Amino acid sequence: MPTISLQHSILERIQRINNFAHRGDIWPDFLPEIGCPVEDCSEDEIEIEVFPDRPDLLSHETMARAARSFLGAHQTVSDVEVESSGIRVEVDSSLENVRPIILAAVVRGVDTGSNDSEKDAFIQSLMDHQEKLHLTLGRKRSLSSIGVHDLSKIEPPFRYETVDGGYSFVPLASENEMSIAEVLSGHPKGIEYAHLMDHMERFPIILDSNGDILSFPPIINGDHTTVNQGTNDFFIDVTGTDYRACEACLLLVCLSLSELGGKVESVEITGWDGSVSTTPNFESKTHRVPGNLVEGILGVKLGESEISESIARMGGELIETRTVTDGSERAERWADCVVGEMEHIVSMPRWRSDIMHPVDIIEDIAIGFGYGNLPRKMSSVHIDAVPLKSSQINRRIRASFRAVGLQETQSLTLSNKKDQFEAMRWKENGAPSIISNPITVDHTMMRQFILPSLLRLLSSNRHHELPQRVYELGEVVHNSQNRTRASWACAEVGSGFASAKGISQALIRDMGGDLEEVEYLPMNEGEGPWITGRGARVIVGGEEVGQFGELDPEVSNEFGLKSPIHGGEFDVERLARIIPDPVL
């Protein structure tokens, strides 16, 4: 989860932010109360964890504004005034199926600091804010990406269009021109986000009236628009595929800059379909919250003044409490406003993109009121639990494996092709799910078999005494679909194929199968990890439900194992489908 470190210089900047608002010294003691734990605190630094459901707290400036609201020093939902910049952005129709959404704004006169140290701190803070928004709201730039440019270095109006992979420009932090294709294959940011451009023949760019590239979204900006210590006027563009995420990103960047004295100006956007809009829009959003829902969830009946004060602390405003006249005749859904009952009309800032349901407003009421002030009482809702069919099956499988002396383990669902297929001599079971940005070479795909994970576990414990008998009941992924499999592996001397067959028979018996109807067919040479003649397929009802046998020493050596090993693996869902549940 995103973490914000507030160094001493940054704390001084927050004080300067609050001075812009004429609010004096606002210290962030409110953070633990709204669910942002202080991870570490010293004389020079406070480290705060901000949860992804509050993207409005991801910059020092927006955090300072939230602090003022929470401590009663800021009474308006949104006081950001927007004037027209006279700047236009024309969107080409070719963007419809590429990256169709673009929003933009201008912010002038931002006070970035009085010395080089403060200006550098501002630039770093701005970059950090962008990346945190990319990670959270933007879902790693897939839904939205932000470009911040020095307005003095670009010439409006702007065009948003597509070009082919041979189009060249000088990307950020580079001295030489690179083509779009070269950026995607050779620039660090291009390599990191090239997967977002997969299967595209034309690529989105933003140009000014001189034909210079501002941005190649969502990859990288042009080098000539770089923000530096002398930048006070900014042009912000946000492009993406999800309007809600794009709007929230634009509003939060503008809000952050306005907290430093910047004046926000709007930009006219002519969309790919010819529609005309003006951004940014700071008008607050209105939400209807049933009064009974507030009382039902919080367990306390709050008065109008208490709700008003609680919402104000969270940056919103209670507009009125009234009797419902235009709602449902009866409550068909949980949060329906029913005619004749009471409801609260609440206004919240538009940048609070985390508010999507009346329950989100009630959570804010609870935070503003104080969790410690809520009564301690048991839930009045009683629901009888009904076990899932899969839980019954899993319970019997675990009981069967424990009965034969196996110890349960739980390993990662991540693996790699070498362990899954090459070392085990198994073929791919459907299309494998490959990780696009793996952290290590050992974790490049979602596993299709569990037995390789158990062999890695035994390998990590090979210096401990034998016997080692383990099993796992877990998830695998075939053709991007989760499936459940059960596997065991035993490193021990004096047992082999017969022991493996005994465990498989016990499993089928405990699942409710008739052992007289089970067939065991020999494996072909080199098919699977088994020694030739000591591996078998298990056939029930004409279908293969699993395999077992003694591991070939060549396979064991691939995992660094020297001791004799037997094991097996079964498809749980296939077993459950073929064998009737004896309990039902």
Q: Report pLDDT digits (tens) over 260-291.
A: 999 999 999 999 999 999 999 999 999 999 98
How far apart (Å, rounded) are the C-alpha atoms in residues 155 and 377?
A: 63
Record: fold of 1-73: Phenylalanyl-tRNA Synthetase; Chain B, domain 1 (3.30.56)
554-583 tens-digit pLDDT: 999 999 998 999 999 999 999 988 987 766
* Max intra-chain CA distance, the chain: 86
Q: What is the pLDDT of residue 448?
A: 95
Q: What is the dihedral of CA 174, 235, 248, 89, to 10 degrees?
A: -100
pLDDT at 437: 83
The 10 Å CB-count burial string (b at 16+, else e) for 8-24 is: eebbebbebbbeebebe
Specify the pLDDT at position 40. Answer: 65
Q: Would you list the domain boundaries of the chain?
A: 1-73, 78-279, 285-373, 389-578
CB 450 within 8 A of CB 485: yes
Contact 481, 432 (CB under 8 A): no
Asked: is 285-373 a CATH 3.40.50.150 domain? The reply is: no
| pLDDT given at position 5 | 47
Kindly report whether the peptide bond that precedes residue 188 is cis, defined as omega within 30 degrees of 0: no
78-279 fold: Phenylalanyl-tRNA Synthetase; Chain B, domain 3 (3.50.40)
463-472 confidence digits (pLDDT tens): 899 999 999 9
pLDDT in tens, 185-237: 999 999 999 999 988 999 999 999 999 999 999 999 999 999 999 999 999 99
Q: How confident is the model at residue 12 (pLDDT cuts 50, 70, 90)?
A: low
Enter the pTM of the model.
0.67
pLDDT at 250: 97
Question: Over the stretch 507-519, which tens digit does the pLDDT of each residue have?
Answer: 999 988 889 889 9
Our measurement of the distance from residue 562's CA atom to the centroid of its chain's CA atoms, rounded to an integer in Å, reads: 42
pLDDT given at position 24: 43
Calculate what percentage of the chain has a pLDDT beyond 90: 66
Structure confidence at residue 28 (pLDDT): 47
Give, as one character, the DSSP assignment of residue 213: E
Strand-pair category, 285-290 with 342-348:
antiparallel
What is the percent of the chain with per-residue pLDDT over 70, rounded to a whole number? 89
Judge whether residue 380 has pLDDT over 80. no
Position 331 scores a pLDDT of 64
1-73 and 285-373: identical CATH topology: yes
The C-alpha atoms of residue 146 and residue 219 are separated, in whole angstroms, by 10
Q: CATH fold of 389-578, please?
A: BirA Bifunctional Protein; domain 2 (3.30.930)
Question: pLDDT tens digits, residue range 22-67?
Answer: 444 444 455 555 556 556 667 667 777 787 788 898 998 998 888 8
Which tokens is 126 given? 């701005």
Sole residue written with tokens 């899954």: 420
**Number of Cα atoms under 13 Å in the Cβ half of residue 301:** 2
